[in-house]
Structure 1
Amino acid sequence: MRVSTANAFAASVSSLQRRQQDLTDANERLTNGKRVMQASDDPTAAARAERARALMQRTDATQRALDASRNSMTLTEAALADGGELLQQARELLASAGNASFTDAERRDVANQITAIRNQLLGVANRSDGTGGYIFAGQGASQPPFIDRPGGVGYVGTGGEVRVASEEPLPLTLDGHQTWLSANTGNGVFVTRPLNSGTAWIDTGRVTNPQELTGATYTIEFTDLAPGQKVYSILRDGVATGVFQAPFDPTKAIEIDGMAVNISGTPSAGDAFEIAPSQPNLTVFQALDKVIAELKTPNRGNTAVTQTIQSGLRDIDSVRNHLQSARSMTGEMLTRIDGAEVRVQDLKLFSENTRSAAEDLDMIKAISDFQNKQSGYQAALQTYSSMQRMSLFDYIKT
């Protein structure tokens, strides 16, 4: 077969251009660190890398949601901690007002201090989240969720919670009504109260046998069986029970259907006390407003003051425990956020590794391949250079 000089030159040039293109491609991949520069390079790997990038974007969105929830729960936990501390201060002040030597003016001073604490608590309940919202606004509010009305503090927010839009159902707000206005009355099971202002007072009471609880309302009525002999009878929902004209001993508890209460002082004939089921409607502000009003009332006897102190301490303990429970819940949420963040970071690392395996370059192999192509290109150049000298004129010159 006859091979012309023109054909040899064209083949040499074509080989040189091909090797130059291969060297350029290898250099570009080496510079970018990518094996797959476009989908046509490896359609399967390109699709796998694209799925990995989509997963990374989802994990980034989830991470932003986790950060928002963490910031909100951190602010909420701090607010609940402040509320608990203020209630502890109010409790200490109220306990000091039980001093029998206190005058009406001194008790009024204590009431004024508790009023200042109450106003601070309202500010804590209306605390902003720093983004134009309120941490206790529930499902959102354009104004502070708690408003101080003549009849007491009311909730004007929307009940419920706002949660982040992610795979992890984490909250951005807490239900303010549930947090601040829904503590259990009494000791959490039943509440005790005097039905008239006599010369005796009743304590918070305690449960002695949960299985015997009936959920009924009981009334303890005192009468005089004989001069100096006090007796009491107990009614259950207005109906007489087996406890009828039982001798009263102030050193012993009065027990009925799994409950026990102590009545101190000297009850008179006609004095009555009630034991009713606890209800989840005690508010932080109601507990303080009640003791403030009673401490400011002048000319009250020691019995009435003692009853105020005992009932007030009981109610403050109840709302404080309720806030503490909410704080514990926010702590659990922060722990869940930390756990979710670990899972998100693991998923992000997995997707990054998947993307890298699909499209990134093996640098050792790439460098070797580049050197081989560079050697091939140099060989092609030398071949082309030799082909240029293969002409009749070169032979004529000699």
Structure 2
Amino acid sequence: MRISTQMLYQMSNNDLTNMQGQLLKLNQQVSAGQKVLVPSDDPVSSARALDLNQSQALNDQYKINRQNANSSLAQVASTLSSFTDMLTKLKSDGIKAGNQSFSNAERANLAAELKGNFQEVLGYANATDGQGNYLFSGFKSTTQPFTLDGNGNAVYNGDQGSMTLQVDSTRQMEISASGQSIFQGNGQDIFQTMNNLISVLSVPVTEAANNADETAANTFEYPAGTGQFPIQAYKTAQATLDATDPNDPTYAAKFSAAAAAKLKSDAADAARTPVVGSQAALTRQLAQFGTQFDAMINNVGTATASVGARQNELDSLDAAGLVKNENYTATINNLLGRNTSDVSELISDLTLKQTYLAAAQKVFVSTSSLTLLNYLK
């Protein structure tokens, strides 16, 4: 078979062109740091890598959502912590105001202070997040949850829902709360309670009221219609006991009688209503406030624990999301040939192709310059 000079030239030129094309492709792969540049290089791996890229993008978005959720929950937790401190302070103020050595002027000053505390609590209830959304409006995040009516009473304008964020593929997390459940939950309205406490502390304790209350206590018939006056009976029994020498043989019997009378007296005292303006009325009312504050502290404590649990869950989801992201990256690198071993292989192929091309070009130059005239003498 004869091979013409033209054919030889054309074949060599085609080979050089193919090798240059391969070299160009290798250069692009080395520059990109991966084997698969276009889907046609490996359709199956490209399709799988695309799916994983989309999953990784979702995982990244969930991470952003978790950061936003954690930010909102941190603000909720901070607000609840401040509110708990305020409730503790209010309970302490109630105990302090019940001290008989506390003067009317001091109680009036405390009432004035509580008016400022009322506005502070209202601020907690109307707290917002970094984007200006209200934390305690439920789904109505742009509506101020608590406003005051003409009588100074707090009115809730939100709903019973809670804003949520998708923090993982199968988890939607609440990032807000209903202000009514926290500030007016379980039948305990902090705003009404504070207003009532201010009113109670504004009423002065007078000697006349104390005297009237003592008279009313001594003449309080309990149970009604029995002709028994347990409070006066206890005072008599206690006075008799106090006047008896402990070494007296009758002391034990008198002690038992006074103890029994005390139980009946306490029951009678709990059943009666003290005279307004008396120390007894103040003590009774402040004790009730203390019970209410305890209930509120427990209610807020439950909400705070719930927020803490969600923050812990976010930490766990973050850790799991980081593992997912690393797995996605490793799998995509394997599919697209981005690993160090893949790039090293590409560099070796590039060096080898460059050597082949240089040799082919040298052969082409030699063969393309051949002529019969060189062999004629």
Relative to the length of structure 2, the TM-score reads 0.77
Counterpart-to-counterpart distance in 2, 1:169 and 1:221: 59
Matches within 5 A, 1:301-380: 301-361=278-338, 362-380=342-360
Superimposed CA distance per residue, residues 149-195 of structure 1 (whole angstroms, 9 cap, x where no aligned partner): 2262121012210111353211221111111111356xxxxxxxxxx
> Paired residue for 1:178?
181
CA 1:80 to 1:56, structure 2 compared with 1: closer, same or farther past 3 Å?
same
Kindly indicate whether the alpha-carbon contact (under 8 Å) linking 2:46 and 2:335 is maintained by their aligned counterparts in 1: yes
Letter in 2 for 1:164: L
One-letter code aligned to 1:174: A
Quote the offset at 1:97 in angstroms: 0.4
Q: Which amino acid aligns with 2:350?
A: F
Q: Which amino acid aligns with 2:34?
A: K
Per the TM alignment, residue 266 of structure 1 is displaced from its structure 2 partner at its CA by 6.6
Judge conservation of contact 1:138–1:160 (CA < 8 Å) in 2: yes
Higher helix proportion: 2
Amino acid paired to 1:79: T
* Greater C-alpha Rg: 2
Give the share of equivalent positions with the same residue, in percent: 21
Superposition deviation, residue 103 in structure 1: 2.9
SS of 1:159 mapped into structure 2? coil
Contact in 2 for aligned 1:223/1:230 (Cα 8 Å): no
Partners of 1:299 and 1:121 in 2: how far apart? Answer: 28
Contact 1:222 1:230 in 2 (8 A): no
Residue ranges of structure 2 left out of the alignment (5+ in a row): 189-211, 216-220, 233-257
Q: What do the CA deviations read for 1:354-385 (whole angstroms, capped 9, x no partner)?
A: 11111034022112111111111111111111
Task: Count the aligned residue pairs.
Answer: 318
Query: Which residue does the alignment assign to 2:110?
Result: 110
Partner residue, 1:154: 155
Q: Per the alignment, in what secondary structure is the counterpart of residue 148 of structure 2?
A: strand
Contact 1:126–1:144 (CA<8 Å) still a contact in 2? yes
Distance 1:198-1:153 versus aligned 2 partners, 3 A rule: farther
TM-superposition CA deviations, 1:89-111 (whole Å, max 9, x none):
21221111011122332222122
Q: Deviations over 1:255-291 (max 9, x none)?
A: xxxxxxxx749739xx458xxxxxxxxxxxxxxxxxx
Confirm or deny: 8 A CA contact 1:222 1:267 kept in the other structure: no
Tell me how far apart the structure 2 counterparts of residues 320 and 272 of structure 1 sit (CA, whole Å). Answer: 29
Partner of 1:120: 120
1:34-45 mapped onto 2 (5 Å cutoff): 34-45=34-45
| Residue 14 of structure 1, CA deviation | 0.9
Q: Distance in 2 between matches of 1:199 and 1:48?
A: 88
Distance in 1 (CA, whole Å) between partners of 2:36 and 2:269 is 92
Q: CA deviation at 1:226?
A: 5.2
Contact 2:135 2:141 in 1 (8 A): no
- Residues 91, 170 of structure 1: alpha-carbon distance in 2 compared, 3 angstrom cutoff: same
Quick one: distance in 2 between partners of 1:226 and 1:248? 20
* Contact in 1 for aligned 2:222/2:229 (Cα 8 Å): no
* Bigger strand fraction: 1
Bigger drift between 100-109 and 29-38 goes to 100-109
In the TM superposition, what is the alpha-carbon distance from 1:392 to its structure 2 partner?
Answer: 2.8
Amino acid at match of 1:60: D
Unaligned segments of structure 1, at least 5 residues: 186-196, 201-219, 232-246, 255-262, 274-297
* Change in CA separation of 1:227 and 1:331 when aligned onto 2, cut-off 3 Å: closer
Per the alignment, residue 91 of structure 1 pairs with 91
CA distance in 2, matches of 1:57, 1:354: 14
Distance 1:248 1:228, change over 3 A: farther
Q: CA RMSD in A?
A: 2.9
> Which residue is 2:269 aligned to?
267
Match of 1:17 in 2: 17
1:94–1:110: 8 Å Cα contact kept in structure 2? Answer: no
Correspondence for 1:134: 134
Distance 1:86 1:113 in 2: 12
Query: 1:3 is matched with which residue?
Result: 3
SS at match of 1:164: strand
Quick one: which amino acid aligns to residue 176 of structure 1? G
SS across alignment from 2:223: strand
- CA change 1:75–1:227 in 2 (3 A) is closer
